[in-house]
Amino acid sequence: MAREPFLPPTAYIPQAFVDQRYPAMRTTICIALAKTDAVSMQAVKSALDNNLKQEGIRVEGSRSKADFRYGRDQHLMMIYVFLVVIAGIIAAVGGLGWRPP
């Protein structure tokens, strides 16, 4: 079992065990690419989706680490903006009570 930030608990099981118990069953495929630019990743995703479709395998979805990080970063951006706005309000209220010596 593994705990990763912002993900549900994940179990990593040897492929041989899964093949023995549940032949021809897959729920997740992870691929490491040599080229990680957006064009190369999109080309591999398209080719993989087409090949799986030709084999009769239904694909629920695919995403890269960049796709996953974008959503997480947008949520964190909302928190950062909220904290900056609150800090500005606190500074403004503190400035109202300040008197020069």
Tens of pLDDT, residues 24-56 = 776 777 777 888 788 888 888 888 888 888 888
> With DSSP H G I counted as helix, E B as strand and the rest as coil, what are the percentages for the chain, rounded to 5?
55, 0, 45
Q: What is the pTM of this model?
A: 0.46
Q: 12: which 2 tokens? A: 């990593």
Residue 29 lies in a domain: no
Residue 48 lies in a domain: no
Residue 14 lies in a domain: no
Residue 69 lies in a domain: yes
Residue 93 lies in a domain: yes
Residue 26 lies in a domain: no
Range of the domain at 68: 64-101
Neighbour-count burial of 36, counting CB atoms closer than 10 A to its CB (0-12 exposed, 13-18 middle, 19+ buried): exposed
Residue 99 lies in a domain: yes
How many domains does the chain contain in total? Answer: 1
Query: Highest mean pLDDT: which of 14-23, 31-40, 70-79?
Result: 70-79
